[in-house]
Homo-oligomer: A and B are copies of this chain.
C-alpha cells in the first residue's frame, strides 16, 4: 500500500474509524477483519488493536455506542440472570437515549430498509450481544427467546424514535423500564 506522510494520532484514529465504518457497511460484521481495516487505513494492525481493542470494540466505536455499555453486558448477565431483565432494559436506554448512538443505529436501519441488505449491526447483535445472553440461558429455544428480548426492545425504539406514537415517545425511560423489564425477565428465565 502507498506510504503516506506522518499523521497525528487523531488523524490515524479517524482514518481507522472511517475504514472500519466502510468495511462494516460493505462487507458486514462477520467478514470485516482488523487486518483488512488496517490495510484500508494504511496503518499496522497492531495500531488498530492499540487504539480500539477487539473487532467488537472497533465496531461499537464505529457506531458511536459507548464501549463500556457493551462490555458491561456479559458481566451483568453473568452476575445474576434472575435480575438481568431490568439491567438489559436500562442498557438499552443508555444507548438509545444518547443522540449520536441513536443516529448511527437509525442510519443502519435506514440503509437496511433502503437496500434490502442485512445491516452490519445484525452480526454484531447476534454474536456479541445475543450470543452472550443466550449462552447463560437454558432451554432448546433459548436463541429464539434471546431474539424476542431484542425484538421487544427494537420495537420500543421504532415506536418511540421513528413512528413516534404517544405516549411512548414522550414518557421517561423509567416508565417504560418498569413495564418492559418483567417481560424481558420471563424470556430470560
Contact = CB atoms under 8 A, between A and B. Distances in A.
Interface of A: 106, 109-110, 112-114, 118-119, 121-122, 125-126, 130, 141, 143-145, 147-148, 150-160, 162-168, 171, 175-176, 179-180, 182-183, 186-187
Contact of A144 (B125, B130, B175): B175
Contacts of A176: 144, 148
A115 to B, nearest CB: 10
Given A144-B167, A167-B147, A114 B110 contact: yes
* Interface SS of A by simple majority: helix
A121 to B, nearest CB: 8
Contacts of A154: 154-155, 158-159, 163
B179 A145 contact: yes
B112 A148 contact: no
Given A148-B180, A152-B152, A155-B153, A109 B168 contact: no
A122 B187 CA distance: 28
Contact of A125 (B151, B162, B165, B167): B165
